[in-house]
Amino acid sequence: MLEINNIHKAFHKNEVLKGVSIKVNKGDVVVILGPSGSGKTTLLRCINFLERADRGEIIFDNLRVDINTASSQDISRIRKRTAFVFQNYNLFNNKTALENVTEGLIVARKVPKFEAIEIAKRALNKVGMSDRIDYYPSKLSGGQQQRVSIARAIAVNPDVVLFDEPTSALDPELIGEVLGIMKQLASEGTAMVVVTHEMSFAQDVANHIVFMDDGVIVEEGHPKDVFSKPREERTKRFLSRILPYSDYDI
């Protein structure tokens, strides 16, 4: 469904992505792992043009976009098929929870208002925020804000949801509520690409693990294989640092 080919991106002279390709099928949960600075977040941001890659190609079914020649229509087409969940939620502070969700429907997708409100209420119900729809973001906890931002992402019915470290800014006791919702979405067949450090989520929910380091994909495969018998030295080292109780032959 979604294919990203040979993405290159440099900031000034620092090459962050050195030719990365990934494939996402319908219903896939792809988890991208890797040490900080490996380019995971940049890759995710390049997929919906929050960051413009220097070169590469994004293919969405029959929509093929060369990054160098992408027009603003191409970008808007891709953005309408994807949704993004940010590490810092980035809710619109001047809008209520409900308005945060309806905004993209009404303004960007021209959905009639009453219909947008129905869709938004359903999305907020799904993330367990029905009782807070009239609250402004400043009065919600981090976990609640992130749940609203997930509702905002799924309300537009995207083909794939991109999660950029969705739990990294949360207090430990709030992480569970967000991961729970992500698990539920995965079980319902929502395709997602997740950058995270939550290894339990990667092990239990992902059906494809991508391990990145230094701007390239070092290793990828089914979580069972990657976690139980990593092939590459760098993967082993990373996993043994993150999962201290595992013992890998290094």
Partner 1 sequence: MELNLDYLIKTFFLAITGIPTTLEITIVALLVATPISFFMAIYKIYNVKIIKQIITAYVSVIRGTPIVLQILIVYSLLPSLFNMAVKSMGWNWDVFSMNPIIYAYIVFSLNTIAGLSEVFRSALLTVNTGQLEAAHAIGMTTVQAYTRIVIPQALVVAMPNICNLTVNLIKGTSLAFMMTVKEITSIAKIEASFGYNYIESYIDIFLIYIIVCSITQLLFSLVEKHFRSYKSITKAS
Which of 6, 24, 39 has the alpha carbon at shortest distance from 162? 24
Which one of residues 90, 157, 184, 203 is an interface residue with partner 1 (CB under 8 A)?
Answer: 90
User: 80 near 91, Cβ under 8 Å?
Assistant: no
The amino acid occupying position 12 is: H
User: Residue type at 188?
Assistant: E
Question: 34: how many CB neighbours lie within 10 A of its CB?
Answer: 24
134 binds partner 1 per the rule CB under 8 A: yes
Please say which residue, 99 or 213, places its beta carbon nearer to partner 1.
99
Among 25, 88, 228, 246, binds partner 1 (CB under 8 A): 88
Q: Which stretch binds partner 1 (CB under 8 A): 8-16, 19-27, 53-61, 89-97?
A: 89-97
State which residue, 107 or 242, has the beta carbon closest to partner 1. Answer: 107
CA distance between the termini of the chain? 36
Contact flag: residue 92 with partner 1 (CB under 8 A): yes
Given candidates 32, 60, 84, 167, which one binds partner 1 under the rule CB under 8 A?
Answer: 84
* 188 lies in the site for partner 1, by CB under 8 A: no
**What gap in Å lies between CA 236 and CA 55, rounded to an integer?**
30
Residue 114 CA to residue 195 CA, distance in Å, equals 34
Kindly state whether residue 107 participates in binding partner 1, applying the rule CB under 8 A.
yes
* 109 lies in the binding site for partner 1 (CB under 8 A): yes
| Those residues with Cβ within 8 angstroms of residue 38's Cβ, 6 or more apart along the chain or in another chain | 212, 213, 214, 215
Residues binding partner 1 (CB under 8 A): 48-50, 76, 79-80, 82-84, 86, 88, 90-96, 103-104, 107-109, 134-136, 138-139, 149, 152-153, 156
